[in-house]
Chains A and B, each alone.
Chain A
Amino acid sequence: MSTDNTLLSIRDLTLYFNTQKGPVQAVDGVFFDLGYKEAVVILGESGCGKSSLAKALLRLLPRNVSRYDGKVFLEGENIMEMDEEQYRQNVRWVRMSLVPQAAMNSLNPVLKVGEQVAEPMIIHHGVKKEEALNQAAKMFQHVGVPVDFLDRYAFELSGGMRQRVAIAMSLVTAPAVVILDEPTSALDVLTQANIFNVLKRLKKELEVSFVLITHDIATSSELADRVAVMYAGQIVEVSDAHRFFHEPLHPYSRMLMASVPRLRANQEPEYITGQPPSLLNPPTGCRFAARCPKRFAKCSEEPPVVNVDGIQVKCWLYSN
């Protein structure tokens, strides 16, 4: 998969947190690739470490980090080797930006939204405020917010509009990669559809790549070119979106897909028994084994990442 088209390539990315009870292995050996003008969806349930992954990629780390390593190649350059100042000047919000979870509540209530969207331009590109505001106005048009909203405050906007403003803020510096952490999870279904239409259009118009972190399988299929499934801090399957939504390979992916209630389908959705393991002390071997209907003796050992016709799957079932 690592061809010339690879924009972002992640290998063995690991992030542990120190807690009173011991280290939490939130992100454990995560890998995936992202091409230019592509969208990869990181799919996982609550507590699987997907938001920590976003933090790890943008190096927005809390103080209690106990381990943070791995390789992240952005346009061929390992950004994990940069020091904080280099990272700030060359990566964060310059080439890679974030729409945080609950972005609609992450706007500053006492600053006009236009100023907030313009701010990254002033800080990272050193442009004058006037010019930055012009750029912000352009971004507003791209995401479908009326330009006169530049002078409004966050509380004057609806949830969907605030979400669009947060997306505009992530795009204003023209980064190559935008990480979207659950961009629509707090929004109603109609607003959700609108936001996804905006994202689809932006991917084409601005030639930007997306890392979309979500638990919403159905919505994610709208945007995905590639899917990476995360379970208990690890990636268990990386697949082409088309093939994934047709036929996922990992038993967890399969059960996850089967649990999505489908409209006008006669078949009942299924569910996965039990619950994900604690990341404090995850089981050795395959972390999904305890809930897996296909487990066998081998599963008590750490499964290898097997390449099945270009799909990477971390499961003993596919190794021979």
Chain B
Amino acid sequence: MNNTNTQTQEKTDLLVVNNLTKYFPVRTGLLQRVTGQVQAVDNVSFVVKKGETLGMVGESGCGKTTIGRTVMRLVEPTSGEISFEGQNITRMNSRQLKPLRRDMQIIFQDPYASLNPRMPIGESVMEGLQIHNIGRPKDRWEVVINMLKKVGLEEYHARRYPHEFSGGQRQRIGIARALALNPKFIVCDEPVSALDVSIQSQVLNILKDLQNEFGLTYLFIAHNLSVVEHISDRVAVMYLGKMVELTDRDSLYREPLHPYTQALLSAIPVAHPNAKRGRTILKGDVPSPLNPPKGCRFHTRCPIAVEKCGQVEPEFREVRPGHFVACWLAE
């Protein structure tokens, strides 16, 4: 599995994730005994290179948010290793992590829930600066205003409360807050899925512009494949806790190799009634991560599964240079 990371050395690796696994215990009954494990993320390895955007797509419940939170060490991994800038951060305690938190920030999914409703947004943005003791207190306000201007807000907005803003504005405040600490790496967890389509691209453009300006690296988590296509350099596809395909954007969208990716892409609606497409309609629903199928986790719904798929789990292998697929039939 580690060969995933060997060929990608030409650009520096910022974040290296090896064999990451996160199981959530399920407790039931009076004694709260552990009766099962939700296998949210199972043995996932990938690299995020400096300055790139790695898109991560999958249906709800596939473990993409858990990955985002685990690499931030907001959720403890069950096993596996996470390295940031060559430093193994998997077992660091909170004091050791604190300086790293400046470099790793997260933009949350729901702009309505991720801002303190009783705090003027300027203070929300400033909080990180105070915690990390950056700059002199009297200069901090100016940093905040600058950040707000970067995301298209004005100085007078800083004294307002979250309820006075629209969804798009709140998401931009979330971006300003993540940026205030001048981080190197940002996990964007579904940053536009709660926004109307007419303003989604505004937030995406801001993210792109800021990436160019500050040389940021993004892990961009989303379920919308069209959005991911617009912002990503490489894209990883998740299914039921497993990474099933990882490659650069153009190969993924033009020539997907995993049958799940093919089905996902064919299901994307096109805003045109005449656009005919050969649809792969998958049978059934995603199985429960409590009790995932043996072998390839996708074999229960796969249109081309063979006997082997139900018995032996396919390796996540490099089928073409830089194109990784976990499927027995891909070549």
**A222 within 8 Å of B (CB atoms):** yes
Say yes or no: A194 contacts B198, CB within 8 Å: no
**B254 within 8 Å of A (CB atoms):** yes
**B271 within 8 Å of A (CB atoms):** yes
Choice from B167, B264, B273 contacting A242 with Cβ under 8 Å: B273
Say yes or no: B273 contacts A261, CB within 8 Å: no
Q: State the CA gap A16–B272 with chains docked (Å).
A: 34
What residues of chain A lie closer than 8 Å to B201, measured between beta carbons? Answer: 259, 261, 268-271
**B263 within 8 Å of A (CB atoms):** yes
How many whole Å from A211's CB to the nearest CB in chain B?
17
> Known: A197-B281, A242-B274, A263-B226. Contact between A192 and B269, CB under 8 A?
yes
Q: B residues 182-200 with Cβ under 8 Å of A?
A: 196-200
How many whole Å from B112's CB to the nearest CB in chain A?
12
What residues of chain B lie closer than 8 Å to A197, measured between beta carbons? Answer: 279, 281
Say yes or no: B269 contacts A188, CB within 8 Å: no
**B282 within 8 Å of A (CB atoms):** yes
**A149 within 8 Å of B (CB atoms):** no
Choice from B167, B197, B226, B230 contacting A268 with Cβ under 8 Å: B230
**B166 within 8 Å of A (CB atoms):** yes
What residues of chain B lie closer than 8 Å to A270, measured between beta carbons? Answer: 201
**B202 within 8 Å of A (CB atoms):** yes
What residues of chain A lie closer than 8 Å to B263, measured between beta carbons? Answer: 190
Say yes or no: B253 contacts A190, CB within 8 Å: no
Q: B residues 241-269 with Cβ under 8 Å of A?
A: 253-254, 263-265, 267-269
What residues of chain A lie closer than 8 Å to B268, measured between beta carbons? Answer: 189, 218, 263
Tally the A-B contacts, defined by beta carbons under 8 Å: 114
What residues of chain A lie closer than 8 Å to B153, measured between beta carbons? Answer: none
Residues 231-269 of chain A: 1 if any B CB is under 8 Å from the residue's CB, otherwise 0?
000000000011001000000000111011111100011
Residues 190-202 of chain A: 1 if any B CB is under 8 Å from the residue's CB, otherwise 0?
1111101100000
Say yes or no: B197 contacts A260, CB within 8 Å: yes
Say yes or no: A221 contacts B271, CB within 8 Å: yes
Choice from B197, B225, B273 contacting A263 with Cβ under 8 Å: B225
**B143 within 8 Å of A (CB atoms):** no
Say yes or no: A261 contacts B229, CB within 8 Å: yes
Choice from B166, B265, B269 contacting A275 with Cβ under 8 Å: B166
Choice from A221, A222, A263, A275 contacting B229 with Cβ under 8 Å: A263
Q: State the CA gap A296–B225 with chains docked (Å).
A: 38
**B37 within 8 Å of A (CB atoms):** no
Size of the B side of the interface (Cβ < 8 Å), in residues, is 39
Say yes or no: A271 contacts B273, CB within 8 Å: no
Say yes or no: B270 contacts A263, CB within 8 Å: yes
**A105 within 8 Å of B (CB atoms):** no
How many whole Å from B248's CB to the nearest CB in chain A?
14
What residues of chain A lie closer than 8 Å to B253, measured between beta carbons? Answer: 263-264
Choice from B196, B229, B273 contacting A46 with Cβ under 8 Å: B196
Say yes or no: B168 contacts A194, CB within 8 Å: no
**A161 within 8 Å of B (CB atoms):** yes
> Known: A161-B285, A189-B267, A193-B281. Contact between A272 and B199, CB under 8 A?
yes
**A224 within 8 Å of B (CB atoms):** yes
**A6 within 8 Å of B (CB atoms):** no
Choice from A255, A260, A271 contacting B271 with Cβ under 8 Å: A260
Q: State the CA gap A161–B283 with chains docked (Å).
A: 12
Residues 55-84 of chain A: 1 if any B CB is under 8 Å from the residue's CB, otherwise 0?
000000000000000000000000000000
Say yes or no: B279 contacts A259, CB within 8 Å: no
Residues 265-307 of chain A: 1 if any B CB is under 8 Å from the residue's CB, otherwise 0?
0001111110100000000000000000000000000000000
How many whole Å from A242's CB to the nearest CB in chain B?
6
> Known: A215-B197, A263-B268. Contact between A224 and B273, CB under 8 A?
yes
The 7 closest A-B pairs by CB, nearest first: A271-B202, A218-B269, A193-B267, A269-B201, A188-B59, A261-B226, A45-B196
Between-chain CB contacts (< 8 Å), 27 pairs = A45-B198, A46-B196, A189-B264, A189-B268, A192-B269, A194-B281, A215-B196, A215-B197, A216-B269, A218-B268, A218-B270, A221-B269, A221-B273, A241-B273, A242-B274, A256-B197, A260-B197, A261-B224, A261-B229, A262-B226, A263-B253, A263-B270, A264-B229, A264-B254, A270-B201, A272-B199, A275-B166
Known: A218-B268, A221-B273, A263-B253. 12 other contacts (CB 8 A): A46-B167, A189-B264, A190-B282, A196-B269, A221-B269, A241-B273, A242-B273, A256-B198, A261-B226, A261-B229, A263-B270, A271-B205
